[in-house]
Amino acid sequence: MIISMTGYGNAEFEKDGVSYSAEIRSFNSKFLEISIKLPRVHSQRENEVRELVRKYINRGKIIISANLERTAGANLPIDIDEETIKYLNQLFKKIKKVTKSKEKVKLDHFLKFSEIFQHKDEEISEIEFQNLYQCIELSIQKLMEMKVQEGRELEKDLINRIDMIERSVLEIEKLWSEKADSEFQRLKEKAQKLLEGKEVDENRLELELALLLDKMDITEECVRLKSHIKFFRESINKDEPSGRRLSFLAQELLREANTISSKSNSAEISQIVVLIKEEIEKIKEQIQNIE
């Protein structure tokens, strides 16, 4: 299964007077790199979000941004400490009496003391994080939809190119089978011309020519190319990320093509190999976009 490494997803919803939003972007990378931006109050929960990402994504540079905003009437995760406020009120009155001040006690005086606020139990904070977590997961799912859709287009392109390579390999095999006998004969005639007038052991000559021809034989390379092509198709169809495996197979295809190029002295075969190598390079470029 081909999954693109690039994509975008976002999600947002409102629940119990709190608006949640999340967006995620994915870029090409050899490894899995995750960058997360959460509201400060939930920043210590980043590892949970990382594990969530790993459930869906194996490779790529991932950037996540999530936020929440409380609307009017939302339950805040803080409350007032009535006992502290009463104590401060008595304290202000005592100060006024001692200083004989006529200044009125105002709300601003109380707000200067952070002690008048107290956090509610962590239930509200936990509920908010679970909702934010759900929003992030929805954005990841939308990202995956885009990655899969783009992956289908990449898959079509890869299949077309690997089919072209396979047809080219079959053409090379045909050309070589046609040329092998004539190549042996050409080498024999050339050797006889060079050794004209000298005593030659015909059996030894034919053996040496056969060994020379064997070094020029590209049958094994064609067999390996077809084997790599088979595994390439199987990797595309596997229900798992295949980017790294396809990258390895592309390198193997290129290696066999280079070997054929170095062995063959046929202009026709060399031209076909050039086309094969061009297609492999295009495949390698596309694989960089695959998870």
Q: Write down the pLDDT at residue 226.
A: 97
**Same domain flag for 225 and 253:** yes
Both 172 and 268 in a single domain? Answer: yes
Same domain for 137 and 104: no
Domain that includes residue 44, residue range = 7-74+123-149
Amino acid symbol at 246: L
CB atoms inside a 10 Å sphere around CB 46: 15
Please provide the size of the chain in residues: 291
Do 128 and 230 share a domain, yes or no?
A: no
The tens-digit pLDDT sequence of the chain (291 residues) is 899 999 999 999 999 888 999 999 999 998 999 999 999 888 889 999 999 999 999 999 999 999 998 776 555 556 777 888 888 888 888 888 888 888 888 888 777 886 776 655 556 678 889 999 999 999 999 999 999 999 999 999 999 999 999 999 999 998 888 776 666 556 555 655 655 656 655 666 566 555 555 667 788 899 999 999 999 999 999 888 889 999 999 999 999 999 999 888 788 999 999 999 999 999 999 999 999
177 belongs to a structural domain: yes
Residue 191 domain-assigned (yes or no):
yes
Q: Are the CB atoms for 265 and 182 separated by under 8 Å?
A: no
In a domain, 176, yes or no: yes
pTM value is 0.71
Answer whether 31's CB lies under 8 Å from 58's CB.
no
Clarify whether residues 181 and 238 are in a common domain: yes
**15 three-class SS:** strand
pLDDT for the residue 73: 56
- Kindly state whether residue 2 falls inside one of the protein's structural domains: no
Instruction: Supply φ then ψ for residue 62, to 5 degrees.
Output: -110, 130
Domain membership of residue 1 (yes or no) is no
Cα-Cα-Cα-Cα dihedral sign, residues 72, 75, 77, 80:
positive
Say whether both 138 and 53 belong to one domain: yes
CA–CA dist 99, 92 (Å, integer): 10
- Taking residue 158's Cβ as centre, other Cβ atoms within 10 Å add up to 23
DSSP assignment of 160-172 equals HHHHHHHHHHHHH
Report the domain count for the chain.
3
Same-domain pairing of 192 and 87: no
Which pLDDT does position 87 carry in this prediction? 86
- The answer to whether residues 130 and 115 belong to one domain is no
Element (H, E) at 83: helix 82-99
